[in-house]
DNA sequence: TACTAACCGAGACGGTACGTCTTGTCTTCAT
DNA sequence: ATGAAGACAAGACGTACCGTCTCGGTTAGTA
């Protein structure tokens, strides 16, 4: 997994790694993704451009790691006492995170680049996305301990379910903030949580995700029953 | 709308407009947003760069218009007979649209740029996003006619609700496709629809968006009732 | 010969040409060949690097033209009244030219590069060397008018002779100055002229360049006759 | 000469010295002076860059030594039986030496660098130039023994004379080959020798180098006597 | 035999110039 | 006035070399 762990030659400076990521973050705050340049980051870090390129293939990769560090700092999953409270909390915290000047533009830009560069996409997912997804798993676990959600028996279905929930939460918040350009406040978080909690309840029902498959006429009962 | 409607001098070539948007789209397919350049678009269109800049302020604006044209081509809202079917249909159609190489690479990129440029954001919303949001309104109208959803009395709440639903649908699909890089197939669409239909039911209940506001302890009943 | 003489597009700025050559010369004086950089020249000339590279393939070509301009400025062939005086004059003038800070290092460096780049060599010869060679032809013409030298009948031999004389004059002065690092003063010029005048006399004798071809034993008469 | 003559510690590898000079020569042949890099030489020699810099201050010094080694290999001064034959021989041999790819590309380059670095100039002269100059002295000695040239009484004048002759021979050949880029063949060697032998004769005449000093009008007799 | 100073390879480091590329503007001639 | 062509200033790109510096390890010579 690790590179053959060279043991010859001068070892890479861990100091430099820290300085570069810090400089990248500072540059993101000051200049934004668009005006950030490798040369500027190097200068801020007191480092040669070569040193950047030895570690990161380019601006995209560097920014992914810098943003990942910001995410790691803000990652948390406080137990708020109920599933609803946990969801509202994570929504608001995630929104706060996306409002930081160093993440907002950079994250979207990197995701855009990732559509053309599979390796970059993998890096984004492993360094940023998957770590956030962990919060969903933890939240579900807690809800199950509280008895708010039943334990799922099929591990495959459980994983698919977690993926769906994560895409819905993260996607909705991002879209609200960055596309619709509207704030994610307590009110919006409540409305969203209400919607999501009902969905979780339905998904938890046996066969919930496969019932009424064709979507053909006559399938109006889930909402029609209200 | 038009500037004082110039009447003197040579009129602008409508041919050129078409060629430029077509060339932009082709360049997006071949090169992706990142490698697309104004010079290349001009060359493909057989047009001078001056001609591009006379019509669009820059790469961002040009690409927004090119992408908007693609969206317009694919816009539709067939009545599939039920709310669930309508939702699944719009999800799958939207996913197909996002899988086109010219939109996939460009959409996140212009959204990223828009976070730094409010005018661009407004253009993105008016040219692309709002036209999609209309589909949500049409779908809700149809569901209300069918009796699947109640009519809302408060127009403000109705608008907020439509915004929420749109953010959830569009955001989830985009996140699934572009961030998680997983396919939006019939199965995923079903799971997502199930989740969303339950949410719509809850939101439609009187006071649904404000009940149980604080999310404090003891608020576990919505899902706990399952 | 000339490029198809484009008539479309913006014409190249003659102003820029002048500024660049001037800046190159100034940079040669201040920094010398080794420290001269394309970026610095561009900055001095108030010009973008692109503009340099549009006209010259690199540092070598640029410097050749800049040095050629210096040579052209100093080129002269005053009639000093006698062949000896003309030779001594051209030797001293050429030495002065080579002592200029903008020519000394640059000329040798460019000649060195030219050994690996035939196109550069051709440029050096046509822009610098051949124009100097003209002085030899003019000097010979004057000497023949004065009766100091006979007219040569074979034009091929005359050309070969001029080449030889030029290589001897230019080579000796360059070697004295740059390799031996000794001054070319009036005394050295006298000694050199004496040597050369005798050679010219010998070469002018019928069959002078082919007599005693083998160089075998017994061929000692030219000097032995002294 | 040597520093306090270290006596402790591991001695420097003589193997490495040989490998480095060999690699330098090979790199000169393949790449020429301009493209030769220290890193490349180190890699070819199977040696660390540190090892190069421990022995030579830089590219210039390294190349001077490598070229000097080539010159030493080719040094010779066969007695060809007459002064003319000796001259023609040395001219042709020197030309052969300069045609070697490792000297052709490097000699002018180090001379160019030497104009900016006096220490380097001294090194070039002591390692390369002066060893060649010895051939002139030997040739003159032989000619004097043969009676082709008179013995000079003033040792200062003799030294100046040798310097002049050396500059003329070496400079003319170098200029012919590297600047004019024309071959030094038997025919050119003959023409050059003829010219030089006459000059030697004149210079050997008492007062030859000072007569007719001003070069003023009326000084046309040396050639005018032809 | 053990110590130890100088050596060696590898390769990372800060710096700096390279030559290319793109952006958005400007200038020319022609329509 | 517009259009195609293309030069222009500005400035980032990613690469290449330079000469220095740390590493871990080797190799005499001395103790």
- Concatenate the DSSP letters of all residues of chain D into one string: --SS---SSPPPPHHHHHHHHHHHHHHHHHHHHHH--HHHHHHHHT--HHHHHHH-SSHHHHHHHHHHHHHHHH------SSHHHHHHHHHHHHHHHHHSHHHHHHHHHHHHHHTT-HHHHHHHIIIIIHHHHHHHHHHHHHHHHHTSSPPPS-HHHHHHHHHHHHHHHHHHHHIIIIIS-----HHHHHHHHHHHHHHHHHHHSTTTTTTTTT--TT--HHHHT-
Number of Cβ within 10 Å of residue B52's Cβ equals 22
pLDDT of residue C198: 84
- Residues A108 and C16: their CA atoms lie apart, in Å, by 43
pLDDT of residue D205: 58
The shortest C-alpha distance from A222 to chain B (Å) reads 7
Task: Give A199's pLDDT tier (boundaries 50, 70, 90).
Answer: confident
Domain C65-204 CATH (choose: 1.20.1060.10, 1.10.10.10, 1.10.357.10, 1.10.10.60): 1.10.357.10
Higher pLDDT, D217 or C100: C100
Is D touching B (3+ C-beta pairs, cut-off 8 A)? no
Contacts of C162 in chain D (CB under 8 A): none
Which residues does chain D have with pLDDT short of 70? Answer: 1-7, 202-226
pLDDT of residue B8: 61
A83 contacts chain B (CB < 8 A)? yes
Query: Out of A173-177, A211-215, D130-134, which region has the weakest mean confidence (pLDDT)?
Result: A211-215
Say whether the CB atom of C9 is under 7 angstroms from strand F: yes
Which residues does chain B have with pLDDT short of 70? Answer: 1-10, 12, 202-226
- Residues C178 and C108: their CA atoms lie apart, in Å, by 9
Higher pLDDT, D189 or A214: D189
Closest residue, chain C, to D130 (C-alpha): C180
Q: How far is CA C143 from CA B86, C20, C199, C207, in A?
A: 104, 40, 15, 20
Beta-carbon separation of C164 and D192 below 8 A: yes
Domain D66-205 CATH (choose: 3.40.50.300, 3.60.20.10, 1.10.357.10, 3.10.310.30): 1.10.357.10
**According to CATH, where is 1.10.357.10 located in chain A?**
65-205
Alpha carbon A166 to chain centroid, angstroms: 9
C56-78 pLDDT, tens digit each: 999 999 999 999 999 999 988 88
Helix (H, G, I), strand (E, B) or coil at C55: helix
Architecture of domain D14-55 in CATH? Orthogonal Bundle (1.10)
Beta-carbon separation of C223 and D193 below 8 A: no
Q: Which of B176, B203, B216 sits opposite A195 (nearest CB)?
A: B203
A59 contacts chain B (CB < 8 A)? no
Architecture of domain A65-205 in CATH? Orthogonal Bundle (1.10)
- Residues A218 and A221: their CA atoms lie apart, in Å, by 7
Task: Give C6's pLDDT tier (boundaries 50, 70, 90).
Answer: low
C168 contacts chain D (CB < 8 A)? yes
- Residues D126 and D149: their CA atoms lie apart, in Å, by 28
pLDDT of residue D65: 97
Helix (H, G, I), strand (E, B) or coil at A26: helix
Residue A183 has pLDDT above 50, yes or no: yes
Helix (H, G, I), strand (E, B) or coil at A11: coil
pLDDT of residue A50: 97
Q: What is the fold, at CATH topology level, of the domain defined by B74-205? A: Tetracycline Repressor; domain 2 (1.10.357)
Contacts of C215 in chain D (CB under 8 A): 80, 82, 84-85, 88-89, 190, 193
A84 burial level (CB within 10 Å; 0-12, 13-18, 19+): buried
- Give yes or no for a contact between B139 and B83, defined as CB atoms under 8 angstroms apart: yes
Nearest to D132 by CA among D93, D82, D181: D93
C131 contacts chain D (CB < 8 A)? no
**According to CATH, where is 1.10.357.10 located in chain D?**
66-205
Give the angle subtended at the CA of A172 by the CAs of A171 and A175, to the nearest 5°. Answer: 80
Helix (H, G, I), strand (E, B) or coil at B126: helix
Beta-carbon separation of D175 and C170 below 8 A: yes
Nearest to D56 by CA among D45, D46, D66, D70: D66
pLDDT of residue B215: 36
Nearest to A216 by CA among B148, B194, B195, B85: B85
**According to CATH, where is 1.10.357.10 located in chain C?**
65-204
Residue C212 has pLDDT above 50, yes or no: no
C58 contacts chain D (CB < 8 A)? no
Helices within B46-185 (DSSP H only): 49-55, 59-74, 83-99, 101-114, 118-124, 130-146, 155-174
C26-39 pLDDT, tens digit each: 999 999 999 999 99
- Residues B150 and B143: their CA atoms lie apart, in Å, by 8
Beta-carbon separation of A81 and B148 below 8 A: no
Contacts of C165 (CB under 8 A, 6+ apart): C136, C140, C196, C200
Residue C42 has pLDDT above 90, yes or no: yes
Gap from C55 CA to F8 C1', Å: 13
pLDDT of residue D208: 40
**According to CATH, where is 1.10.10.60 located in chain B?**
14-65
Helix (H, G, I), strand (E, B) or coil at C46: coil
pLDDT of residue C202: 65
**According to CATH, where is 1.10.357.10 located in chain B?**
74-205
Say whether the CB atom of D8 is under 7 angstroms from strand F: yes
- Residues A135 and A141: their CA atoms lie apart, in Å, by 10
Which helix (H) or strand (E) segment is C189 a member of?
helix C186-204
Task: Give A88's pLDDT tier (boundaries 50, 70, 90).
Answer: very high
Q: Which of B109, B203, B223 sits opposite A112 (nearest CB)?
A: B109
- Residues A186 and B81: their CA atoms lie apart, in Å, by 36
- Residues B188 and B91: their CA atoms lie apart, in Å, by 10
Domain B14-65 CATH (choose: 3.10.20.30, 3.40.50.720, 1.10.357.10, 1.10.10.60): 1.10.10.60
């Amino acid at each position: 997994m690790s590179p053959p762990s060279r043991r010859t030659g001068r070892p890479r400076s861990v100091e430099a790694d820290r300085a570069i990521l810090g400089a990248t973050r500072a540059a993101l705050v000051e200049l934004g993704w668009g005006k950030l340049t490798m040369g500027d980051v190097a200068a801020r870090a007191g480092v040669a451009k070569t040193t950047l390129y030895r570690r990161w293939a380019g601006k995209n990769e560097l920014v992914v790691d810098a943003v990942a560090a910001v995410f790691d700092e803000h990652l948390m999953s406080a137990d708020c006492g109920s599933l609803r409270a946990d969801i509202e909390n994570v929504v608001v915290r995630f929104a706060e995170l996306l409002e930081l000047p160093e993440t907002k533009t950079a994250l979207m830009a990197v995701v855009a680049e990732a559509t053309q560069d599979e390796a970059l996409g993998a890096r984004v997912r492993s360094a940023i996305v998957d770590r956030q997804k962990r919060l969903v798993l933890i939240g579900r676990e807690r809800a199950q301990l509280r008895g708010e959600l039943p334990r799922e028996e099929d591990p495959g279905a459980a994983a698919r379910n977690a993926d769906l929930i994560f895409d819905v939460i993260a996607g909705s918040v991002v879209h609200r903030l960055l596309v619709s350009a509207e704030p994610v406040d307590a009110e919006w978080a409540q409305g969203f949580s209400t919607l999501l909690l009902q969905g979780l309840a339905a998904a938890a029902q046996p066969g919930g995700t496969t019932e009424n498959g064709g979507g053909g006429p006559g399938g109006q009962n889930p909402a029609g029953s209200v």
